[in-house]
Amino acid sequence: MDARFTELLTPFLKFLGEQEITPDTSLRELGLDSMQAIELLFAIEDAFGVTLPDDDMNDDTFATAGSLWTVVRAALDARYAADEAQVTAA
């Protein structure tokens, strides 16, 4: 997981304490609730310049740091592919 990503997650996890964020870190158990999901999405969009698909807005995506990172990573890959396609076309 990207260091920017774990840094961005930290303020949402008020019960994290001294623990390190790993892919298995449970977001819900450490304090993320449904009322904050939209703020977390904004933070991800601002940091990585990607929009996560509506289809991924489910409990599985927000279960762990790893599951959310998988979705962010897929959005990043899709953006890079689109950028490359544009460069090639130009």
Partner 1 sequence: MSAPTFAPARPAPAAGPLTAAGLADRVARVAAVAAEHLERTDRDASFPLEALEEMRRSGLLGLLVPESHGGLGGSTDDVVTAGIALGRADMSVAMIFVMHCQQVAAVVRYGNQRLRDELLPEIAGGRMYLASVTTEAGKGGHLLSSESALAAREGELLLDRFAPIVTGGEYADGFLVTMQSPPPSSPNQVSLVYAHRDQLTVERSGDWQPLGMRASHSVALRLTGTVPAHQVVGEHGAFRTIVTTVFGPMAHLGWSACWLGTAAGALSRVVKLLRSPQSRGRVDLDSELLLTRLSRARQRIDTVHALLDRARQVVATADDLSVPRVQLLLNALKITAADECYRAVDDLVDAAGMRHGYLKDSPTRLEHSLRDLRSAALNYSNDRLHLVDGKLALLDAEVRLA
CB of 88 to partner 1, least distance (A): 30
Please, what sign has the CA dihedral across residues 67, 68, 72, 78?
positive
Is there binding between residue 46 and partner 1 (CB under 8 A)?
Answer: no
CB of 84 to partner 1, least distance (A): 26
* Two structure tokens written together for 59: 């409990």
Residues 52-81 that bind partner 1 (CB under 8 A): 54-55, 57-60
- Only one residue has tokens 């260091």, namely 3
CB of 14 to partner 1, least distance (A): 8
